[in-house]
A = this chain, B = another copy of it.
């Protein structure tokens, strides 16, 4: 099979407002949104991913801010005027190092965000009501649970929320059901960062990432030690999104499950500003060589105004546009790639076998991280031109599955020569 996809790969951007960043919800300016969307549309983008701020949208567990819903509705309609579809993230949660938990979940009211039944009931109400407010909008694709919400379950988080693999899965199921209840048939996802694929301590697992919701999502950030270890313009960095996409595919039980490269960006200084255009071009071309890609959504539309304080340095300059709407080198590269959409790629006939032990909890997943044996072996194959896919150890003998994926050759980790089946 040459092409399993239906329709062209979608190109879009994560929408970061050029004025006031996401704080614009507090002083919403529809004209400013129109200006930003006009710029985004000029790139040939067909969609935006947008970010309500949780503490503004649900300030009390039983209060959904109706003005904020109206502003979101106006934003969605503005996008439609510019020919843009919209995907909405719900539980923000977390954005560019800033957390936005409502006061009913902090300090005196702190409670586990994943396991407390009262908290969950509040999240469900919000997700359902937010989704329902968007369900009739023709240009809304669906919702994501929230941007990298599972970082709250990371042991690195200052207020880590202890949660087991089982509890994380349960939470995901309940939240996704709430989106579906509010907006039946929408393209609803959860939005994981790479700890799910790489960190054996992380309770959100690769299996969960690749099985809940209507698509798997990939967030590809070379500051995850890839750039530090190999260089920002190394093949490893340029192929990180491709690699994560193949990893997500391996973890899906359905070989035809679509994958959304939901975030990819060119963070300085990991990628030098003068390399940003080339990085964008090459990283996108590599990612587009993966079959079954629903779309690519660049992070992000606009730089963060340097008048705003306290962002990590790399977050300021991730935009395709500057705050004055002028296009940057990475914006030109994005526009070029988005305007030259190619045929869907062939399936990958050679796959590297991934054995992480128990495939529910994935205790051996650290080998997939930058510097890990699996990561490096896959990159070696990729650099040799093998276009490697990935197959879980449990699927080694699953001939129907392998056939559906078009896999002709499996390579075991550590083998110096490819083994033919």
Q: Which residues of A contact B (CB under 8 A)?
A: 20-21, 23, 26-27, 55-56, 59-63, 65-68, 97-101, 103-104, 106-110, 122, 157-159, 307-310
Contact = CB atoms under 8 A, between A and B. Distances in A.
Contacts of A56: 26
B108 A99 contact: yes
Nearest to A62: B309
B103 A108 contact: no
Contacts of A103: 55, 98-100
B60 A308 contact: yes
Contacts of A66: 27
A20 to B, nearest CB: 6
Contacts of A99: 103, 106-108
Contacts of A109: 97-98, 310
A67 B108 contact: no
A65 B27 contact: yes
A23 B27 CA distance: 15
Contact of A309 (B21, B67, B101, B104): B104
Given A67-B26, A98-B103, A61 B108 contact: no
A327 to B, nearest CB: 26
Given A56-B26, A97-B109, A62 B104 contact: no
A65 B310 CA distance: 17
B310 A67 contact: no
Given A65-B27, A67-B26, A110 B158 contact: yes
B23 A107 contact: no
A314 to B, nearest CB: 14
A103 B20 CA distance: 14
Contacts of A27: 65-68
Given A27-B67, A68-B26, A62 B107 contact: no
A402 to B, nearest CB: 43
A312 B114 CA distance: 23
Per CB-CB distance, the 7 closest pairs between chain A and chain B, nearest first, are A27-B67, A98-B103, A23-B59, A61-B309, A62-B309, A99-B107, A60-B308
Given A98-B103, A100-B103, A157-B107, A26 B59 contact: yes
Contacts of A308: 60, 62-63
A153 to B, nearest CB: 13
A103 B102 CA distance: 10
A308 to B, nearest CB: 5
Contacts of A23: 59-60, 63, 65
Nearest to A121: B309
A100 B310 CA distance: 18
